[in-house]
């Protein structure tokens, strides 16, 4: 399913079509993967980030997290399954390499019918 995807998007919508609660779930999920440095400041992971797509809270996850931190990737997969959240593919590997880690996402990329999922 993610063979050529560089990232995927967890949408704040359950498979039943309900808006996922709490409202700050995306920020909480990303915060759970943040690291605290020696100076006491939290540093967000470059592999996940909260975002809003079509007015829905979402989280963008870079597939490279699977190799960088398998435990964190498994935690995200469990979170998706336990909360029955919808997931769609993001940019493919070539798109991600050409545009950097987190560019703005065009409406065309948000259309699930264009993502082959």
- End-to-end alpha carbon distance in the chain: 7
pLDDT in tens, 62-107: 999 999 999 999 999 999 999 999 999 876 655 444 444 444 444 4
DSSP secondary-structure letter at 20? Answer: P
DSSP secondary-structure letter at 30? Answer: H
Helix (H, G, I), strand (E, B) or coil at 46: coil
Contact 90, 60 (CB under 8 A): yes
With the CA atoms of 94, 113, 3 and 47 taken in that order, what torsion angle do they form, in degrees rounded to the nearest 10? 70
What is the pLDDT averaged over residues 47-66?
Answer: 92
Contact 45, 31 (CB under 8 A): no
pTM of the model: 0.71
pLDDT higher than 70, residue 114: no
């Amino acid at each position: 399913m993610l063979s050529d995807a560089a990232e995927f998007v967890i949408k704040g919508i359950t498979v039943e079509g309900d808006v996922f609660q709490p409202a700050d779930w995306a920020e909480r999920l990303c915060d759970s993967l943040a690291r605290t440095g020696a100076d006491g400041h939290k540093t967000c992971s470059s592999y996940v980030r909260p975002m809003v797509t079509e007015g829905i809270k979402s989280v963008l996850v870079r597939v490279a997290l699977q190799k960088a931190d398998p435990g964190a990737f498994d935690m995200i997969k469990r979170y998706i399954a336990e909360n029955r959240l919808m997931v769609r593919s993001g940019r493919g590997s070539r798109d991600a390499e050409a545009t950097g880690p987190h560019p703005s996402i065009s409406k065309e990329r948000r259309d699930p019918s264009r993502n082959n999922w």
